Amino acid sequence: MSQDTAPQKPRTPKQNREDRLKAALKANMGRRKAQARARTDKEQTDKMQADQEWSGEAQAGTGHTDQDKEG
């Protein structure tokens, strides 16, 4: 099998720096997206727990209303 690609030129320090910065930016964005997803998941979990607690309290009530107490 023969390769038809020309030999690559050596990379300049500027190109190496750009590649490092590009990789660092990509990793940073990945971490930030993961943090945002974790925050969103936690908020949704907290909201669901609060909703469940509220509905549980409403169901566990005595069934009396303020009108029952007055009369």
Would you place residue 66 in the very low, low, confident or very high pLDDT band (cuts 50, 70, 90)? low
Question: What's the Cα-to-Cα distance from 43 to each of 39, 54, 66, rounded to whole Å?
Answer: 6, 16, 34
What's the chain's average pLDDT?
81
> Per this entry, what is the length of the chain?
71
User: How far apart (Å, rounded) are the C-alpha atoms in residues 17 and 14?
Assistant: 5
Domain ranges (residues) in the chain: 14-49
- Model pTM above 0.75: no
- The alpha carbon of residue 60 and the mean position of all alpha carbons in its chain are separated, in whole angstroms, by 35
